[in-house]
Amino acid sequence: MSRLLVLLFLALSMGLAHGADVRGEEVTYTDNGTTLKGYLAYDASASGPRPGVLVIHEWWGHNEHARNQARRLAELGYTALAVDMYGDGQVADHPQDAGKFAGAIRQNRELMMKRFTAAENFLRSQTQADAEKVAAIGYCFGGSVVLEMARSGADLLGVASFHGALATQNPAQSGEVKSRVLVLHGNEDPMVPAEQVEGFKKEMDAAGVSYHFVGYDGATHSFTNPAADEAAKKFGMPVGYNAEADQKSWGELERFLAETFGN
């Protein structure tokens, strides 16, 4: 089926022609005593549970970018949870703080998996979500998180990484990855150089993973976030928004989720 037909079928099957009534709710859940503050977005006009999608934030923390993406997914008919990986909804305003927050999770894989699983269990328990159909997407730091979860054999139908790191100390093993994998990458991203890309592809091929990799010329790190240009100017970071790559990568995600959930 062509991409156009897949997206058309998705829209019709989810009733988008009649308009979605998107709601967003502040939610809390816990991981071993740590309070986590998420954001649940769903279409209140929908009848019955819908496939669920976890949205993992950039290294800045659970901010408006993650919530915006959750709302966009709800407009497509999914039930989306913008996840809090740091605890207490912490958000960094400076790269040094963001690096500390992200590093504490990246360097503790057990903690990463617990924080992710707490969010996954919460989403599966919601009446608006189909507990049997769950996927995850992530941005930058979040992209690396969802890929690690796939490598770990998490029971997810699919994961999608937007401008996320691809290197790992725990490479995928043959037969262990249950998720379909989508990687959306900026070809000019200095934080994820070509050798890391090639290493990732070799890893996926060796493990027999069903994956699709798309690179966008002219796009650098954080190409989906309009706030990236401000961060680049303020902190001299090699990041930047790219409207074309943002639009095209979202289209790839729509197709990927439609195919993953069998819509």
Please compute the mean of the pLDDT values over residues 147-170 and round it to a whole number: 98
42-68: per-residue pLDDT in tens?
Answer: 999 988 999 999 999 999 999 999 999
pLDDT value at position 19?
67
Contact 39, 66 (CB under 8 A): yes
pLDDT value at position 7?
42
Q: How far, in Å, CA of 145 to CA of 58, rounded?
A: 10
pLDDT at 11 over 80: no
Q: What is the pTM of this model?
A: 0.92
93-109: per-residue pLDDT in tens?
Answer: 999 999 999 999 999 99
pLDDT value at position 15?
42
Please compute the mean of the pLDDT values over residues 155-167 and round it to a whole number: 98
User: Which CATH number is 8's domain given?
Assistant: 3.40.50.1820
Beta-carbon-side half-sphere exposure of residue 49 (alpha carbons within 13 Å): 15
Range of the domain at 16: 3-261
pLDDT value at position 58?
98
The region, left, alpha or beta by phi > 0 then psi within -120 to 50, assigned to residue 247 is: alpha
241-259: per-residue pLDDT in tens?
Answer: 999 999 999 999 999 999 9
Contact 39, 71 (CB under 8 A): no
pLDDT value at position 5?
39
Please compute the mean of the pLDDT values over residues 128-151 and round it to a whole number: 98
125 pLDDT tier (thresholds 50, 70, 90): very high
Residue 78's nearest CA partner among 129, 24, 27 is: 129
pLDDT value at position 13?
43
pLDDT at 12 over 90: no
Give the number of domains in the chain: 1
